[in-house]
């Protein structure tokens, strides 16, 4: 079942983007589809960098009380939009359409930013940027439980809840589980609040956001194990869109270098990063 029958467009205008967009529009009418800084990057919609994401997935992307989409990924793609001299516009689609490349191939968006792990399977459908975030999974249990690991979950025949189409699901299945699957993280939270699952496996930053911002989750649940998978997150573009991929990589590397990435990390993750990505790893 689709998340919505109609895509919701949520425009986000980064700081100074109005001025940059005005400057870009003030040039000649040469027919160049690039926007700002002499870029030749073609975009689905002129003057807009359209981003596909899957809501809610805090702290990478979620809606604040005003309905504006905010988060770590939003900040990073704002940097790309700023460098292109355009504004970022975000659309919410089912994560399955993101990871299999369908949304990008259908020209629903230019870039995918959804706290997405780089995997060999996904590389068949997407071109990934340099990695920007290390993946750690969190095992979350109800307080008072004697569960300390997935082995305990299995031995006690407990219900494990995971998000659909994610590496958490892949990991759980690789460990021999047939977990209860939720279409997005918001439904996973609802199941926790209703005590419909005994244990949850989810990306650590998302779990930390739950514990920070959802009082009932923080009161009743706790992290008992952290699983470092060795994988990393990346943003993605349509396969073969080299010009945009190069621009996203350039903007990310600058954010790593000038402290923008670290500042955003601290704001959204809640602590200073232990290390900053180098930008030398390849996502594709």
- Lookup: tokens for 34: 């690039």
Is residue 274 very low, low, confident or very high in pLDDT (cuts 50, 70, 90)? confident
Any domain includes 264: yes
Query: pLDDT, tens digit, for every residue of 90-132?
Result: 999 999 999 999 999 999 999 999 999 999 999 999 999 999 9
**84 part of a folded domain:** yes
Task: Name the domain count of the chain.
Answer: 2
Do 191 and 252 belong to one domain?
A: no
Q: Is the pLDDT of residue 37 over 50?
A: no
Closest CA to 222 of 143, 138, 136, 137: 143
Lowest-confidence region among 4-18, 53-67, 78-92, 213-227: 4-18
Q: What is the pLDDT of residue 111?
A: 98
What would the pLDDT profile of 173-212 be if each residue is shown by its tens digit? 999 999 999 999 999 999 999 999 999 999 999 999 999 9
Predicted confidence (pLDDT) at residue 281 exceeds the cutoff of 80: no
Q: How far is CA 213 from CA 128, 132, 209, 218, in A?
A: 31, 24, 6, 8
Same domain, 59 and 173: no
Find where tokens 């975030």 sit.
133
* Tokens found for residue 100: 């299999």
- Report the CATH number at residue 42: 3.40.190.10
Residues 107, 24 share a domain: yes
* Residues 152, 83 within the same domain: no
Q: Structure tokens of 152?
A: 């305990």
Whether residue 105 is found in the same domain as residue 244: yes
User: For residues 3 and 280, which has the higher predicted lDDT (pLDDT)?
Assistant: 280
Instruction: In whole angstroms, give the CA distance from residue 184 to residue 166.
Output: 10
Checking if the pLDDT of 16 tops 90, the result is no
Give the largest CA-CA distance in the chain: 69
Distance, in Å, from the CA atom of 108 to the CA atom of 111, rounded to the nearest integer, reads 9
Q: Is residue 247 part of a domain?
A: yes
Does residue 121 share a domain with residue 15?
Answer: yes
CA 139 to chain centre: 19
Mean pLDDT of 5-23: 39
Confidence of residue 142 (pLDDT cuts 50, 70, 90): very high
Mean pLDDT of 139-166: 96
Domain-located, residue 275: no
Same domain, 113 and 174: no
**Within-domain flag for 145:** yes
**151 shares its domain with 116:** no
* Tokens 């350039």 found at: 250
In a domain, 170, yes or no: yes
The chain-wide mean pLDDT, for the chain, equals: 88
124: its two tokens: 């068949």
* Greater pLDDT, 136 or 280: 136
Task: Provide the pLDDT for residue 21.
Answer: 36
Flag whether 111 is in a domain. yes
Residues spanned by the domain of 167:
135-231
- 63 and 101 together in one domain: yes
Nearest to 47 by CA among 35, 32, 37: 35
Secondary structure of the chain as H, E, C letters: CCCCCCCCEEEECCCCHHHHHHHHHCCCCCCCCCCCCCCCCCCCECCEEEEEECCCECCCEEECCCCCEECHHHHHHHHHHHHHCCEEEEEECCHHHHHCCHHHHCCCCCEECCCCECCHHHHCCEEECCCCEEEEEEEEEECCCCCCCHHHHHHCCCCEEEECCCHHHHHHHHCCCCCEEECCHHHHHHHHHCCCCCEEEEEHHHHHHHHHHCHHHHHHEEEEEEEEEEEEECCEEECCCHHHHHHHHHHHHHHHHHCHHHHHHHHHHCCCCCCCCCCCCCCC
pLDDT of residue 33: 40
pLDDT digits (tens, 9 = 90+) for 240-271: 999 999 999 999 999 999 999 999 999 999 88
Do the domain assignments include residue 3?
Answer: no
What is the Cα–Cα distance from 161 to 163, expressed in whole angstroms?
7
How far apart CA 128 and CA 233 sit, in angstroms, is 9
- The verdict on 14 and 103 lying in the same domain is yes
Task: Indicate if 14 and 57 belong to the same structural domain.
Answer: yes
Any idea what the Cα angle at residue 108 is, between residues 277 and 128, rounded to 5°?
Answer: 25
pLDDT of residue 241: 97
216, 84: one domain: no
User: What is the predicted pLDDT for the residue at 284?
Assistant: 63
């Amino acid at each position: 079942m689709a998340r919505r029958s109609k895509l919701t467009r949520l425009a986000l205008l980064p700081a100074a983007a109005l001025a940059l967009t005005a400057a870009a529009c003030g040039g000649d009418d040469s027919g160049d589809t690039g926007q700002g800084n002499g870029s030749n990057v073609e975009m689905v919609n002129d003057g807009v960098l359209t981003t596909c994401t899957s809501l809610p997935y805090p702290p990478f992307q979620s809606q604040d009380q005003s309905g504006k989409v905010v988060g770590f990924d939003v900040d990073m793609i704002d940097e790309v939009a700023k460098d292109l001299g355009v504004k970022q516009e975000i659309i919410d689609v089912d994560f399955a359409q993101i990871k299999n490349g369908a949304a990008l191939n259908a020209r629903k968006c230019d870039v995918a930013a959804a706290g997405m792990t780089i995997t060999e399977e996904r590389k068949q459908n997407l071109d990934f940027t340099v990695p920007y975030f290390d993946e750690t999974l969190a095992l979350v249990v109800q307080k008072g439980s004697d569960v300390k690991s997935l082995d305990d979950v299995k031995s006690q025949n407990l219900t494990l809840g995971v998000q659909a189409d994610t590496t958490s699901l892949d990991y759980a299945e690789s460990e021999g589980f047939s977990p209860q699957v939720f279409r997005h993280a918001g439904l996973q939270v609802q199941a926790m609040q209703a005590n419909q699952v005994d244990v949850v496996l989810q990306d650590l930053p998302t779990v930390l956001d739950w514990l920070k911002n959802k009082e009932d989750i923080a009161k009743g649940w706790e992290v008992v194990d952290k699983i470092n998978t060795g994988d990393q997150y990346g943003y993605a573009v349509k396969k073969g869109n080299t010009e945009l991929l190069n621009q996203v990589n350039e903007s990310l590397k600058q954010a790593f270098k000038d402290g923008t990435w670290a500042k955003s990390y601290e704001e959204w993750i809640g602590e200073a990063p232990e290390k900053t990505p180098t930008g030398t790893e390849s996502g594709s």
